[in-house]
Chains A and B, each alone.
Chain A
Amino acid sequence: MTQERYYFRFNLYNRILHGMVIVSFLGLAVTGLPLKYAQTGWGAWLSHALGGPFTAGYLHRFFAIITFTYFALHLGYIARLVLLRRPGIFWGPDSMIPQPRDLVQFGQHVRYFFGLGPRPRFGRWAYWDKFDYWAVFWGVSIIGASGLLLWFPTFFAHYLPGWIFNVAILVHSDEALLAVGFIFTIHFFNSNLRPEKFPMDSVIFTGRLEEEEFRQDHPEEYDRLLAEGRLEARRADPPPLWLRNFSLVVGLSSLAVGLVLIWLIIMTALR
């Protein structure tokens, strides 16, 4: 078996930020869900295991600070790219902004599901990647804002009417359910659990993609980089063993935590 060629898909900054997302998201879920599901046995058990609702509350705020931090770091990252006048941030094949191409590829993908056409030639970001990205953007904004309201109610009550806290409780809770539900089912499936990637895709930890996978999953980007002569600049050394092991341990553990939580939520909903 010969050595595969590898290319970078995520830089270190991206990977560290996604690591922060994993840690804070799981932390927020584990410390927040026991309160939302206080009436259930597992909710009460988890809350006590964490040291009771107030300790869980402190931990929840700690993970919230990590969330606000990565959110700020990401905005700073974009700002830096803008200041460096890097092209294609807000439009073009490498942009996260949804574009007509995404709608077309979604249509092609559905036809492919039914065997009515070939697999679309996805670029750097498929439409579900973009949805994931904007879901986090939306989620952090909504959950973060409502969370801050509930964290400092007396402060915000100087400027906002009191009913906003009723809305904040509802939105924080429902939006958290949406986020947790989406990440632990849809994102897990799209990026890890679907048969092509099962049990997990290490790219977010190693940052590296095998050439074959690159060509299969992002053919448009691969061809474009090759045509523009930029492909070699993305060449990477194979991920070292420790990094692959680290990816497996962290990735599979995170998947396990998420799957246990979503299983508990679904069981509670079905009861």
Chain B
Amino acid sequence: MARLLTGLGAVLLLGAALWPAGVAQGQPKAAEPKPSSQDCLACHGDKDLKRGAPKPGRPASLFADEAVLKGSVHARLECVACHRTATAPHDSPLPPVQCAGCHDKARAALAGAVHGKAKGPAGAGAPACASCHGTHDVRPAAAMTIDSCASCHARQVEVYRGSVHGRSRQRGDTEAANCRSCHGAAHGVLPKTDARSSTYHLNLPRTCAQCHADPALAQRHNIPIANVYQLYMDSIHGRAVTKSGLLVSANCSDCHGSHEIQPHTNPKSHVYPANVPKTCGGCHAGVLAQYAESVHGKAAAKGVSTAPVCTDCHSAHQIRRVEGDPWKLDVIRECGSCHTESLRTYRDTFHGKVTMLGLTRVAKCADCHGSHTVRAVNDPASSTSPANIVATCAQCHPGATAKFAEFHPHADPESKARFPLLYYSYVFMTVLLVGTFGFFGLHSLLWLPRSLIERLRRGRERLRRGRTGSGEGREP
């Protein structure tokens, strides 16, 4: 409140300083005395006072409610402070009020900004100060709500009110983002096509990070990923946006939306699992087309909740280059997080062991099964179907034949039903190992004490021979 009064005082002082200049400029008939507010209200205090001739876009009533005036931030100003050319009485209509006489800073801020440009709804020109601040009821900026924005941006504000940010605000959460949090102060708002705008494609991650880089905030608001900004900045999308300056790479709003943003658990969210393919497909259209035909895509489309969508394999915020070895090796584990048996049997093979040791030159899941194109083995179009398997093996093994492809990359030696020959080999080898080690282990254990006795005996014998002289006891 104290700050408000100081501000008000400053405005008044500024007004007083500008006073003579205003008078000199706008008032050729300098001799006439200024009317007081009471003089004005003598006429304009009448509720029925109307314009002589209607003016488009302006109210017909000329009534000025003193109560409203006294409740406004301009309560202590005289009418002529704004209506500078007014005389009492006056015959001709007064010119529009120019706020800039006092609010020069606001005018300067507006100068380069979208709200200062002659571009408004239905070509009505730039929004006037009064469009947002009102006239006689002008209130301090801090008291303004999104309703002010809604007077022009009704659709966006409506959508915002339904978003996670809007709903949190309604619940009284003052940390939740409102218009100004992302777009900045109203006077300086720039269009998102402007490279200086806080909502410009390349600047948006930093704008969201004002809140979402703070782990404590994430915790307070039950946001599951606390370090989302850091993860994003290291991801292929984040690097492309912030390091390479690529406008085509995804920023926050490309996936999450902007005014309509929802938590990922909300079915309306762009990042709700079932909506993820469509969201990613907004840019990755070719991949989406492949995925839609895959066993994963078809299952996801049917609503199978366990079917993987893009983010299940690629993650959401830490998406990496697929050409890199770390990704190629880690994604094997990703496949294995659902296909546990397949991963286990894969690790028994040369392919699985070499990738375990950090080399990617051997077959990984996607090399045989495809990645976005993955299909069930019983699908004739699958790369692992009987019709295609030889060609799939031949990618790495140029001389592969049908017999070669009979090798089972996921054989389980413990499955008698599926791999009888392998099973019996396994049983034979196990018996051989257990038998050999059991037999000779016991043999050695029994031998050990005897051998110790034998050593001591020979040592004593040698000692005795040494004492009794050379050659003794050597002849049989």
A residues contacting B by CB (< 8 A) are: 1-2, 5, 34-36, 38-39, 43-44, 47-48, 52-54, 109-110, 112-115, 119, 128, 150, 153-155, 157-158, 160-163, 165-167, 169-171, 174-175, 177-178, 181-182, 185-186, 189-190, 194-196, 198, 211-212, 215-216, 223, 226
Contact = CB atoms under 8 A, between A and B. Distances in A.
A171 B425 contact: yes
B403 interface: yes
A52 B404 contact: no
Interface of B: 347-350, 352-354, 356-359, 361, 397-401, 403-408, 411, 413, 419, 421-422, 425-426, 429-430, 432-433, 436-437, 440-441, 443-444, 446-452, 454-455, 458, 462, 466, 470-471, 474, 476
B359 A53 contact: yes
29 contacts: A38-B347, A38-B352, A39-B347, A44-B356, A44-B358, A52-B357, A52-B358, A54-B354, A128-B443, A150-B350, A153-B397, A154-B397, A154-B398, A154-B404, A155-B399, A158-B401, A162-B403, A163-B408, A166-B408, A166-B422, A169-B350, A170-B413, A174-B430, A175-B429, A182-B436, A182-B437, A194-B447, A212-B462, A216-B458
Contacts of A158: 401, 403
Contacts of A5: 474
Contacts of A170: 413, 422, 425-426, 429
Contacts of B466: 1
Contacts of A109: 447
Q: Tell me the dominant secondary structure on chain A's binding face.
A: helix
Contacts of A157: 399-401, 403-404, 407
A186 B432 CA distance: 15
Given A38-B356, A163-B408, A178 B432 contact: yes
A110 to B, nearest CB: 7
A175 B433 CA distance: 8
B451 A196 contact: yes
B450 A154 contact: no
B474 A166 contact: no
Contact of A38 (B357, B406, B454, B471): B357
A175 B432 CA distance: 9
Contacts of B403: 157-158, 160-162
Contacts of B407: 153, 157, 162-163, 165-166
Contacts of B476: 215, 223, 226
Nearest to A46: B357
A166 to B, nearest CB: 4
B357 A166 contact: no
Contacts of A112: 450
Nearest to A159: B403
B419 A166 contact: yes
Given A157-B400, A160-B403, 11 more contacts: A5-B474, A35-B357, A38-B347, A38-B353, A44-B357, A113-B450, A154-B398, A158-B403, A161-B403, A166-B411, A194-B448
B437 A195 contact: no
Q: Most chain-A CB neighbours within 10 Å: which of B359, B405, B411, B447? A: B447
A110 B350 CA distance: 43
Nearest to B398: A154
Q: Most chain-A CB neighbours within 10 Å: which of B361, B405, B407, B441? A: B407
A162 B422 contact: no
B354 A35 contact: yes
Nearest to A154: B399
Contact of B356 (A39, A165, A171, A198): A39
Given A39-B347, A182-B440, A226-B476, A163 B421 contact: yes
B451 A186 contact: no
Nearest to B349: A169
Contacts of A114: 446
Contacts of B421: 163, 167
Contacts of A2: 470-471
Given A167-B425, A189-B444, A53 B357 contact: yes
A171 B359 CA distance: 24
Contacts of B358: 44, 48, 52
A188 B357 CA distance: 31
Nearest to A186: B440
Contacts of B436: 178, 182, 186
B317 to A, nearest CB: 29
A220 B419 CA distance: 51
A128 B425 CA distance: 26
Q: Most chain-B CB neighbours within 10 Å: which of A115, A150, A170, A216? A: A170
B240 to A, nearest CB: 31
A-B pairs, 7 with minimum CB distance = A162-B406, A157-B404, A154-B399, A2-B470, A174-B429, A38-B353, A113-B446
A163 B353 contact: no
Nearest to B419: A166
B446 A110 contact: yes
Nearest to B404: A157
Contacts of A171: 425, 429
